[in-house]
Amino acid sequence: MSNTITGPDGQQRCAWCQSAPEFFEYHDNEWGYPVVDDQRLFEKLCLESFQSGLSWRTILNKRENFRKAFCGFDFNKMAQFSDTDVERLLQDAGIIRHRGKIEAVINNARRAQELIATEGSLAAYVWRYEAETPPPPQTASTSPESVAMSKDLKKRGWKFVGPTTVFAFMQAMGLVNDHAEGCISRKKAAKLRRSFTKPV
């Protein structure tokens, strides 16, 4: 069984919450619950790309700065970004100033437009990769589904979307219920997943 810790209210939560005080709110209100909104899905893919090699705490604490810098992760607006925007972003101390990652998410905005044109929506696409038989909670950093989605996205021209990045995205967006056994949010996530209608 995955470890849990006792939260401020005496309830059990995933052990990773104890890594930072701000993780409790993120864990309780966001992580692991099904998402169907294309802009939120795209934002998370971008933020997971920026996290590569860094801690999620760093990204979470800069999330509002990222949203401001990248037009709320509106991929239609981001797709219009130019080299001038890249240079502007490289001067923005509020975000991760990594040229490769900045250029990657701008590229991915354009690829998102193409994907939506052929698949109907980003949500319809990603939910095709929902795990049929997920691994036990918090025992894996990739899955067959994340490997498959990563491979397909790369074939479509996306960047910084390796299997580990994609699996972290799946965990956060509710494509797999990876809350620990005994965590108060596991039942909530399961209930939301049961009532969730997969987009087509």
* Integer Cα distance of 95 and 63 in angstroms: 8
> Among 31, 33, 43, 56, which one carries the catalytic annotation?
56
Q: How many CA atoms lie within 13 A of 15 on its CB side?
A: 8
> Among 26, 30, 103, 119, which one carries the catalytic annotation?
26
Geometric angle at alpha carbon 112, from 96 and 70, rounded to 5°: 30
Query: Known catalytic residue: 158?
Result: no
Query: Known catalytic residue: 56?
Result: yes
Q: Which residues contact 70 (CB under 8 A, 6 or more apart)?
A: 46, 78, 105
Q: Which of 36, 155, 169, 43 is nearest to 109 (CA)?
A: 43
Phi, psi of 6 (to 5 degrees): -85, 125
- 3-state secondary structure (DSSP) of residue 36: coil
For residue 140 the two structure tokens come to: 């894996």
Query: Known catalytic residue: 127?
Result: no
> Among 31, 33, 43, 48, which one carries the catalytic annotation?
48
Phi, psi of 148 (to 5 degrees): -65, -45
Parallel, antiparallel or unpaired: strands 12-14 and 4-6:
antiparallel
H helices then E strands: how many in the chain? 11, 2
Query: Annotated active-site positions, please?
Result: 26, 48, 56
